Amino acid sequence: MPYAITQTCCTDASCVAVCPVNCIHPTPDEPEFATTDMLYIDPRTCIDCGACADACPVDAVFPADRLTGPDAVYVELNRRHFGDEPADDTWGAPEFPRSLPAGAGPLRVAVVGTGPAAGYTIQSLLRSTSAEVTVLDRLPVPGGLVRFGVAPDHPSTKNIGRRFATNYRHPRVRMHLNVEVGRDITHADLAAHHHAVVYAVGAAGDRTLGIPGEDLPGSIPATRFVGWCNAAPDVPGDAVDLSAERAVVVGTGNVALDVARILLSDPDELARTDIADHALAALRASKVREVVLLGRRGPEQAAFTRPEFLAMRDRLGAEIVVDDHGGVAGDLAAAAPSATAGLLRDLPAEPVDLALPPPEGRRLVLRFRSAPTRVLGDHQVRGLRVTGTGGERDIAAGLVVRSIGCRGVPLPGLPFDEDTGVIPHDRGRVGTGTYVVGWAKRGATGGIGANRACAAETVDALLDDAAAGRLTAPGADAAAFARLVRQRRPDAIGLREAESIDRAERRRGERAGRPRVKFATVPELLAAGRSRR
């Protein structure tokens, strides 16, 4: 029986590299790889060896005969991707790992950040060079987007964090947590103690709608909501108000689906995940019964991916309807099954009066061709005004979540492009000895797996500079840098404390029948890190 790839695919292509018959596509050297939602296994070529399942960092690959219930759809999705012709199993030109020429000397590299982009960068440096790597993060716990940005009910996706965590235990890696670059340590400090500095700081800013009322209490970015669910220390436990019956999520991407799904999910199901205790308690007491997913354009331009929508549709346990206005139902009827709008063809399409209280039960309403023009309310959100095909309409709601993307923020000592929200670079090179990777480099696009190729490009630029002798040797060693960190940030912690936090959270989880129970504040994290129990 062949294998099939499922919804949690991260597209980092670890499976492609180990497949002995080249049956997994698109491969990184194929044009479609840059835009694909997931990878696919050709069932006619697969030899059932299971190498892909062993290599997958997010547990997305299974024997096709084991996929039942809602997961059975992925067997057909894998087969349908290849149509009537088997995949081209011709091998491309081999690629060999980069390395430095003999005599280049050892490197000392600082990596700022501990998310996926940093993880792939550190992995590449350790495999390609004999470099000593210094890892820094502003929070007392590593993980970045994997810990704080992945929805808590996607535990398989979070599993990739285990792979990155092995890097931190490497003898050539030193870790400094609870240290903010730009506040505690400057770029000049890093440059003085390392041959090169790689910034993997993500996109910490949020895009705004630019409409009146957007700053009212009850109007928040999706990153704040997801951080609240994931016990991010910089998001307070009372950051999300669930006292109204309807919430509006502006946006139609995968993060928008995450927000809607969490709001409408059975709290007892969420209690089996690592969701923050304060979020679980709030969701148990929540009055939200209806979520409106708002798209500026038509259903054919919805930004969610096929696997994410199918997973939500089949597991949500709530009614899903399409608000039929401005000819949306006709668009759905005419859509090809393979199109994004085709995913919605079987859903009921009916007019929905969103000025009225929602009906009994839980419901997700997909409303397209509606652009927000004003968040309504005096001291608290009470609705959202939208305009579209049918003119202006007011949607009664007590929570508005904007899921319209992120952007980078400036870092002291580095250039920044305000228009694009990224650090300007040339193939990851900001300047000799300074590099960037991940969302800070390319903008907030692409999932976890996209960072693998992104990191490879940046590390290649770093190695080119090292081989050409363009990097400046540091004036002080790693021990001197560690002393500087302790002097500037006495509360800094390292790998030993991070592992202590991990053990403590897992023990708490065992007592509650959950994978882990997270500490939600910096003082709690530091206390757990310094505990020797």
- Encoded tokens for 163: 């792979």
Give CA 471 to chain center in angstroms.
Answer: 32
For residue 46, give the 3-state DSSP assignment: coil
For residue 195, give the 3-state DSSP assignment: coil
Phi/psi at 136 (nearest 5 deg)? -130, 145
Picking from 247, 251, 252, the residue whose alpha carbon sits closest to that of residue 381 is: 247
Q: Please state whether the predicted TM-score (pTM) of the whole model is above 0.75.
A: yes
Phi/psi at 250 (nearest 5 deg)? -90, 115
Angle between helices 254-264 and 222-229 (to 10 degrees): 50
| Structural contact between residues 127 and 164, judged by C-beta atoms closer than 8 angstroms | no
Answer yes or no: same fold for 3-81 and 209-404.
Answer: no
Question: Distances in Å between the alpha carbon of 98 and those of 8, 291, 415, 462?
Answer: 30, 49, 28, 11
CA atoms within 13 A on the CB side of 106: 11
Picking from 238, 529, 286, 155, the residue whose alpha carbon sits closest to that of residue 519 is: 529
DSSP state at residue 472: P
Rounded CA gap, 348 and 303, in Å? Answer: 20
Rounded CA gap, 385 and 397, in Å? Answer: 10
User: What is the pLDDT at residue 532?
Assistant: 66
Class of domain 3-81: alpha beta
Rounded CA gap, 170 and 173, in Å? Answer: 5
User: What is the pLDDT at residue 34?
Assistant: 83
User: What is the pLDDT at residue 317?
Assistant: 87
Rounded CA gap, 495 and 415, in Å? Answer: 31
Angle between helices 116-128 and 450-467 (to 10 degrees): 40
Write the pLDDT tens digit of every residue in 42-65.
999 999 999 999 999 999 999 999
User: What is the pLDDT at residue 511?
Assistant: 96
- Structural Rg of the chain based on CA atoms: 24
Q: Domain limits of the chain?
A: 3-81, 108-204+407-492, 209-404
Picking from 85, 167, 188, the residue whose alpha carbon sits closest to that of residue 119 is: 167
| Structural contact between residues 508 and 517, judged by C-beta atoms closer than 8 angstroms | yes
Q: Quick one: 108-204+407-492 is in which CATH superfamily?
A: NAD(P)-binding Rossmann-like Domain (3.40.50.720)
Picking from 110, 448, 466, the residue whose alpha carbon sits closest to that of residue 438 is: 448
CB-count burial class (<10 Å; 0-12, 13-18, 19+) for 360: exposed
User: What is the pLDDT at residue 84?
Assistant: 77
The partner residues of 249 in beta bridges, in order of sequence, read: 293, 401
Residue 515 CB partners (closer than 8 Å, separation 6+): 155, 273, 274, 506, 509
User: What is the pLDDT at residue 89?
Assistant: 76
Give yes or no for a cis peptide into 490 (omega within 30° of 0).
Answer: no
User: What is the pLDDT at residue 533?
Assistant: 59
Low pLDDT (below 50) residues in the chain: none
Q: Characterize 490-501 residue by residue with b for buried, 16 or more Cβ atoms within 10 angstroms of its Cβ, and e for exposed.
A: eebbbbebbebb
> Under CATH, which number does the domain 209-404 receive?
3.50.50.60
